[in-house]
Structure 1
Amino acid sequence: MTALLHLDASARRNSVSRELGAAFAESWRAQHPGGAYAHLDLSADPIPFIGEGWTQLCDRVLAHGSTDLDHLAELANSPEQQRAWAVVEPLLAEVRAADVVLIGTPMYNYSIPASLKAWLDQITFPRMSLAPRRFVVVTARGGSYAPGAPKAAYDYQERFLRDFFAGHFAVQDSVFVNAELVNSRHDPVLAHLRERHEQSYAAALAQARRLGKEY
């Protein structure tokens, strides 16, 4: 049975990234009527930041030299580490149960929300691999960070996540669907770019629906 883990990170209840994620998920679920589906709202139910117990557990993983995630619980040998593992274990189990991980996220200050970073930090240990899982990221960006745009070099959202998935998780199969110029909906200074935004949004929505069928 195939499984989809769907995360939302936007602080907005009605956001473009949530709309794109919902479009992918709806398409995917229609394509996989018997598939398992889990949804995490990282804004409504934030994941705690890592603490001292997590760092101790991480050191234990390094010292043990094991990359077998099934034995992580055995390495938690103090109350602090056990409390850290109590946070990590269900999050890691959800990821490992999924074939596809869908992340809906806005760009905040050129990068990702702290809520998404907290989730990534909690589930990441040295030398761990999540391959061959597939990652799909649907994003909303206030400006345009497309290739050739004046601020393309400031895109630390897609660049960070793509490098993170490959470098930490050994996941090479990641795809990004970006809706640009979302702030033209709210900022009068960008109102003249609204048509370009609508074109980008429509293309992103169509791509999200198509990928949902393909994945």
Structure 2
Amino acid sequence: MPPLNLLHLDSSARANSFSRQLSRAFADAWTSAQPDGQYVYRDLAATPTPSIGQGWTEICDELLRQQITDPAQYPAVVHTPAQQDAWAIVRPLLDELLAADAILIGAPMYNFSIPAALKAWIDQVTFPRMSLAPRTFVIAGARGGSYQPDTPRFAFDHHESYLRDFIDGHYGVDDVTFINAELVNTLVDPALEHLAHAHEASVAAATARVPEVVADITERRATS
């Protein structure tokens, strides 16, 4: 089996966040298992991706009109200076995405959803009808409360649900794994101190899953 390539993104505003810790643990385990594979890292919080502009929308509109779905043909619709400026931003991001076999995203929950830094990257690499199958996505997440299916706040989880719906609905990839540390706010909110043990258990469980997920992905790709 040829070596597998990993694209690693972080989006937390915190330098030592739980999402960063989990994504780093995953990246370390992955590169250990795939020493010959390409590893690319982007810190979306430290080096923000620009917001999309008019040129980007014009490119997308033209791709739809011409029913272009192959990324290799995208440059054919880039003409005006505004479109060329937009493509100069998008192209390296898209090249990294397409070169990866697995995409690892450190994504904390902010206000029930994802950080603006991550949304800006998603907007830039989103083009009409682009399939990324059979790639796999891994989300290393951290949430202030608990959003498990049996909890009162489950209905407010627009973090995991958004990412899962986007990755599957837009890219056609249903191979998405979430590794979440929950109840992070027990460390700062006195009202949640009584749940500190549950937070610690969540972090331990998430950390323990990391090598299991790495092994599962590499084994499945080896036999596919």
TM range (shorter): over 0.9
Deviation at 1:213, TM superposition (A): 3.0
| Identity between Structure 1 and Structure 2 (%) | 54
SS in 2 for 1:47: coil
Partner residue in 1 for 2:33:
31
Partner residue in 1 for 2:206:
204
Partner residue in 2 for 1:188:
190
1:1-215 correspondence to structure 2 within 5 Å = 1-215=3-217
Question: TM-score normalized by structure 2?
Answer: 0.94
Q: What code does the residue aligned with 1:211 have?
A: V
* Structure 2 unaligned residues grouped into runs of 5+: 218-224
Q: Partners in 1 of 2:216 and 2:25 — Cα distance?
A: 13
Q: Partners in 1 of 2:139 and 2:95 — Cα distance?
A: 20
In the alignment, is the contact (CA less than 8 A) between 1:107 and 1:141 conserved in 2? yes
Q: Partners in 2 of 1:122 and 1:103 — Cα distance?
A: 15
Give deviations 1:28-87, integer Å, cap 9, x for gaps. 111111111011100000000101010011111011111011010111111101100000
Deviation at 1:147, TM superposition (A): 1.0
* Structure 1 unaligned residues grouped into runs of 5+: none
SS in 1 for 2:8: strand
Q: Partners in 1 of 2:5 and 2:174 — Cα distance?
A: 19
Q: Partners in 1 of 2:203 and 2:211 — Cα distance?
A: 12
Q: Which segment is superposed worse, 29-38 or 108-117? A: 29-38
In the alignment, is the contact (CA less than 8 A) between 1:138 and 1:208 conserved in 2? no
Q: What code does the residue aligned with 1:139 have?
A: G
Question: TM-score normalized by structure 1?
Answer: 0.98
Q: Partners in 2 of 1:119 and 1:125 — Cα distance?
A: 12
SS in 2 for 1:63: helix
Give deviations 1:155-187, integer Å, cap 9, x for gaps. 000000000011100001111111110010111
Q: Partners in 2 of 1:45 and 1:52 — Cα distance?
A: 22
Q: Partners in 2 of 1:142 and 1:86 — Cα distance?
A: 37
In the alignment, is the contact (CA less than 8 A) between 1:103 and 1:138 conserved in 2? yes
Deviation at 1:212, TM superposition (A): 2.2
Q: Which runs of 4+ in 1 moved over 6 A?
A: none
In the alignment, is the contact (CA less than 8 A) between 1:142 and 1:183 conserved in 2? yes
Give deviations 1:132-172, integer Å, cap 9, x for gaps. 11000010000000111110000000000000011100001
In the alignment, is the contact (CA less than 8 A) between 1:27 and 1:210 conserved in 2? no
- Matched residue pairs, number? 215
In the alignment, is the contact (CA less than 8 A) between 1:26 and 1:212 conserved in 2? no
